[in-house]
Amino acid sequence: MSKDAVVSKQRLLWVAGFGWLFDAMDVGMLSFIMAALQKEWNLTAEQMGWIGSINSIGMAVGALVFGLLADRIGRKHVFIITLLLFSIGSGLSALATTLTVFLILRFFIGMGLGGELPVASTLVSESVPAQERGKVVVLLESFWAGGWLIAALISFFIIPKYGWQMALILGALPALYALYLRVNLPDSDRFRVVQKTERRSIWQNITEVWSKPYAKQTTMLWILWFSVVFSYYGMFLWLPSVMVMKGFSLIKSFEYVLMMTFAQLPGYFSVAWLIERVGRKFVLVVYLIGTAVSAYFFGNAESAAMLMAFGILLSFFNLGAWGALYAYTPEQYPTVIRGTGAGMAASFGRIGGILGPLVVGYLVAQQVSITMIFAVFCAAIFIGVLAVLLLGTETKQQELE
Alpha carbon distance 181, 295 (integer Å): 38
Q: How far apart are the first and last CA of the chain?
A: 20
Q: What is the pLDDT of residue 397?
A: 65
Domains of the chain: 9-182+190-391 (1.20.1250.20)
Alpha carbon distance 334, 126 (integer Å): 10
Q: Where are the alpha helices (DSSP H) in 74-173?
A: 75-93, 99-125, 130-157, 159-162, 164-171
Question: Distance from CA of residue 147 to its chain's centroid?
Answer: 11
Q: What is the pLDDT of residue 178?
A: 66
- For residue range 339-379, list pLDDT tens digits in order: 889 889 988 998 888 888 788 878 888 888 888 888 999 99
Report yes or no: 219 and 392 within 8 Å, Cβ to Cβ: no
> Which residue type, as a one-letter code, is found at position 167?
A
Residues of the chain with pLDDT under 50: 1-7
Alpha carbon distance 234, 226 (integer Å): 12
- For residue range 62-111, list pLDDT tens digits in order: 988 998 888 888 888 888 888 888 888 888 988 888 899 999 999 998 89
Q: What is the pLDDT of residue 215?
A: 94
In a 13 Å sphere around the CA of 107, the CA atoms on its Cβ side amount to 9
> Which residue type, as a one-letter code, is found at position 395?
T
